[in-house]
Chains A and B, each alone.
Chain A
Amino acid sequence: MGTERINDTRRNFLRKSAMLAGTLLATSVTKPFTAVIFAANQPDKTKPWYGIGIDIEKCIGCGNCAKACKLENDVPKEPFYFRSWVEQYAIKNDGTVKVESPNGGIDGFTQTVAAEDIFKTFFVPKMCNHCAKSPCTQVCPVGATYESPEGIALVDDKYCIGCRYCIQACPYGCRYLHPVKNTVDKCTLCYHRIKKGLSPACVEVCPTGARIYGDLNDKEGLLNKFLKEHHCHVLKPNLNTGSKLFYNGLSAEVR
């Protein structure tokens, strides 16, 4: 084989080199389309780049975030689809984990595990992680879901064909098919509110300040202060989704 390589004519070698250079040149022309090719934009450091912080130690599981989310965004009350919901975790002394979310937590919680069996128990509010490398936006066949320049994963409901591919792709289960519109719906971080300078509805109603949202580029901002003062984790870090939903006090059992 080695001899074959050497026997290759100079003409052939030059031709191949020219082809390679041509391909490189051609791909450099597609620079404006890198967002399409790599499915993710590099964040612009001078513009807001939103993230969320949730303090599990402060959450009392009142479910007002889930309720306010439904009322603010006209998510149908029933069937029980959620943009934002709360789960109650109870880790028993024998190591088994019981996760409950009756009606997404809207009507509050009761502890169903007997007190003497509980090793530890806590609430985990969940919502879209607004990932920086979101797996859901990459799979859309029609360009109906995308990451906005502010780092918010949005759905264009006029373009969505309801193929449910993104619902499958989201590792956090944060998307659902709207039963009336028949398009995919998800948390928008209350885009219509934050654009008007208001906080998202779930943050607005949280009675204990367990929820924080803010600009990750603003080094003096609330969210960066929260990240500085707490040891925060994201959900499923092994998936490398670039999640921007940071939990303080997250237990390893939470999935």
Chain B
Amino acid sequence: MPPQLKTLLPLLAVFICIFLVARHFLIPESFGKYGHYRADSMDETAAIPINYVGKEACAECHDTETAKLASDLHSVLSCEICHGPGALHVADAEKGILLKPGTREFCGTCHSINPARRTEVINQIDTKEHHPEKDNCIDCHNPHAVWELKE
């Protein structure tokens, strides 16, 4: 072995030691538990609060609307499709303001005629031509029980 290498060897050993010590402190504990990543980040992702609470949560306070909805063809719809995410509202009914859309554009996102939609799956109407005498769809159809028509 060349003599200059011999003098450098201890230096190299010191560097390796520093590297190992630094590595020990820099790498988070959960890194590499399941693979080449921080396992704790899964728990962090899982801890994010939810915004959509689901029908059951609404049913606790709004049993009439829930029963209405279940009685007709819109029973397949979630409350939050129309009213928006309800987590805030469930936590504090006064504060969380929910949407109540019943316009031709809104109902049209599902019901306007489009050849890409199958009629077996959903009945479609021309949102402009269908009963133009009233402005909004909910002026006739009850959004919760669609075949309950107002007249």
Q: Which positions in A face B, CB cutoff 8 Å?
A: 35-36, 41, 57-58, 60-64, 68, 71-73, 88-90, 107-111, 115, 118, 121-123, 143-149, 154, 156-159, 188, 191-193, 195-196, 198, 201, 204-205, 207-209
Bound together, the chains give a CA A102 to CA B60 distance in angstroms of: 37
| Residues of chain B in range 45-104 having any CB-CB distance to chain A below 8 Å | 45-52, 54, 76-78, 80-81, 84-85
Bound together, the chains give a CA A80 to CA B65 distance in angstroms of: 34
Specify which of B45, B51, B78 lies most central, judged by the most chain A CB atoms within 10 Å of its CB.
B45
Let me know if B132 is at the binding interface, CB within 8 A: no
Interface pair B110/A207, CB less than 8 Å apart: yes
Other A-B pairs beyond A154-B42, A191-B45, 4, CB < 8 Å: A35-B36, A68-B52, A188-B45, A195-B46
Interface pair A72/B116, CB less than 8 Å apart: no
Bound together, the chains give a CA A158 to CA B38 distance in angstroms of: 10
Cβ contact of A109, chosen from B31, B45, B81, B116, cutoff 8 A:
B116
Cβ contact of A192, chosen from B41, B45, B80, cutoff 8 A:
B45
Interface pair B51/A72, CB less than 8 Å apart: yes
Interface pair B115/A205, CB less than 8 Å apart: no
What is the minimal beta-carbon distance from B117 to any residue of chain A, in angstroms?
Answer: 5
Q: Tally of A-B residue pairs with Cβ under 8 A?
A: 123
Bound together, the chains give a CA A89 to CA B115 distance in angstroms of: 11
Interface pair B78/A205, CB less than 8 Å apart: yes
Interface pair A72/B50, CB less than 8 Å apart: yes
Bound together, the chains give a CA A111 to CA B114 distance in angstroms of: 6
Bound together, the chains give a CA A134 to CA B81 distance in angstroms of: 32
Q: Given known contacts A36-B35, A60-B117, A107-B109, is B85 in contact with A71 (CB within 8 Å)?
A: yes
Cβ contact of B81, chosen from A110, A111, A207, cutoff 8 A:
A207
